[in-house]
Chain A
Amino acid sequence: MSLSAHQLHYRVNGRSLLSAVSLELRAGEVHAVLGPNGAGKSTLLRLLAREISPDAGEIRYGNRPLREWPGAVLARNRAVMSQRDQLLFAFTSAEVVGLGRLPYPHVMVAENEHIVDAALKLVDADHLRSRHYPSLSGGERARVQLARALAQIWDASEGQTRCLLLDEPTASQDLAHQHRCLGIARAFAARGVAVLAVLHDPNLVLAYADQVTVLCCGETLAQGAPSQVLTAELMSRIYGVPVRVLNDPLSGQRWIDVDSPDRRY
């Protein structure tokens, strides 16, 4: 067990954004969070990142409560790719990824540069390295931000399980890059990283996640292996559209399809 949340509650201005949410993020696993807009997915991710603190409940990282860890140690073990994009200054892509190496001031410059190069190549942004970040498209920016998060936890340090928290990493990515992004998440999991990914596409959850937590209105509706949890009935209920589940006879992979009457028009 690496990062575990127990009965989290979070309120803003008296409105409950999350209530009684629990989950375990284990080393080597990709854990997806699925749910309609406003379900509290990003709030859950921010709580797990210690960006905000829960009103009730506890998050433990390793053998200690999350809040007791020094920020510098967490920075070397937990990286977040958020949806916020506030950078207005003309850093190059390579410089943005290099910011992910800030928690390692004592690592040799050449080593940091090597990691920046490798991270840019991994997310297929090597050709963007000298481009100014504000001039990139949305999908390109997201890839550079992913590379920055990867560079931040590139190598294991201090014997803790590394955590990679991704908030809609596939948003604004084309088809190939969506799969490349989640392939990278799987590869990091294979190297012992605990990965949490907020996703909107149930088919990507079925294809890449080991565990899924389905949130709706701040509450956990279901939790477990995607192939068991993501039923037509549950999907129809949370999204309010008729859904059918297909099975690919060749791979045995499930496929979730919206059976919408709107298609007739």
Chain B
Amino acid sequence: MLPRPGRTWPLFWGLGIAVLMASALALTSGALPIAGTTVLNWIGLPVGVPALSYEATTLMHLRLPRLLLALSVGGALAAAGAAMQGLVRNPLADPGLIGLSSGAALAASAVMVLGYTWDLDPGLANRWLLPAAAFAGAAAATVLVLRLAQHDGLTRVATLLLAGLAINAVAGAGIGFLAHVADDQALRSVTFWMFGSLARAGWPELAVAVPLLLVPMLLLPREASALNALLLGEAEAMLLGVDVEHLKRRVMALVILAVGGSVAVAGIIGFVGLIVPHLLRLHLGPDHRRLLPASALAGALLLTLGDTLSRALLAPRELPIGILTALIGGPFFLALLLHYRRRPELA
């Protein structure tokens, strides 16, 4: 396929540099401003003055894990969104909108509440049971929503979005019920899943989640050419030599990994998988060979900036990042709906 000349590499370089700058901003700004040269000194470069002990503690235990989480959750969610939209051949299929995130959040909340009730070891529950439940919840929602929306190799978008709506409603009711019966501590955790936040995870959770989130970011681009063919239709992709059933299973597994992993460490952060691929398609076109890596970079950038902003807006308190992305994403989705309204095949 022909590249769109002169548009691809500048964008990748620009995104890469922007991610680095956003990371620097995330590490230096906050309730305790830390000089940029001090941060560079802290990571081992021979510049600036060494970090004071409380600065080093802030960087090590608050800002760095949070930054890594923003980068990996943002990248994984955006790449998963782009892949999901390719899989169902529709630009409106956001993993949050079609119910994957809330499926994962419901399962995670259930483990959380039952964990407190049954007095499970919090280390075990948080580090292993919770991600496992989130994956199971995301997987169940994915299978359910695709079963409902696919018929004869065609995905009906109205059904997809409506099924997502129903799953979101049921999961919301489930989470509400869990919140109702939970004790105070569990309630705070459940609320945390409803409004995603990057504030909770520490190094032990990161050690499990970040590698899991890197897997879809690194492996989804391998399916890029086949996903391009799939945009022509399932039969057309098959005629071009793509093993469509295998492709769908692999992409779905990677999307579930990305969404389940994100929800396990950060709760529901919606619309990243909708906004990022859409803006990039305007610039790069729909070719997944460029779109998937660019989405991972831009998603990491968006969430890092968003998290820095959410810490600054109501300082010293912070706005959960999920509320911020929903505030931006809701109107964005409405604008997309209006844009596509003229096209009956999407309605």
Contact = CB atoms under 8 A, between A and B. Distances in A.
Interface of A: 46, 49, 51, 71-72, 74-76, 78-80, 82, 84, 86-92, 94-96, 98-103, 105, 112-113, 116, 152
Contacts of A76: 241
B285 A91 contact: yes
17 contacts: A49-B239, A71-B241, A75-B239, A80-B236, A80-B239, A82-B235, A82-B236, A84-B233, A88-B91, A88-B231, A90-B286, A92-B4, A92-B285, A94-B1, A98-B2, A99-B240, A102-B229
Contacts of B239: 49, 51, 75, 78-80
Contact of A103 (B2, B4, B232, B240): B240
Given A74-B241, A98-B2, A102-B229, A88 B285 contact: no
A94 B228 contact: no
Given A86-B89, A95-B2, A99-B1, A152 B233 contact: no
Given A88-B90, A112-B1, 11 more contacts: A46-B235, A75-B240, A80-B239, A82-B236, A87-B233, A88-B345, A89-B91, A94-B2, A95-B1, A95-B287, A99-B229
B89 A88 contact: yes
A203 B238 CA distance: 33
A87 B228 CA distance: 10
Top 9 nearest A-B pairs (CB, nearest first) are A75-B241, A98-B1, A89-B286, A86-B233, A72-B241, A103-B241, A102-B240, A94-B2, A71-B241
Given A49-B239, A75-B239, A75-B241, A89 B231 contact: yes
Contacts of A74: 241
Interface in B61-99: 89-91
Contacts, number: 85
Nearest to B234: A86
B231 A87 contact: yes
B243 interface: yes
A84 B285 contact: no
A152 B241 CA distance: 11
B127 interface: no
B241 A89 contact: no
Contacts of B235: 46, 51, 82, 84
A51 B235 CA distance: 7
B281 interface: yes
Contacts of A116: 2
Contacts of B287: 91, 95
Contacts of A98: 1-2
B56 to A, nearest CB: 48
B208 interface: no
A9 B226 CA distance: 32
B47 interface: no
B143 interface: no
B225 interface: yes
A187 B237 CA distance: 26
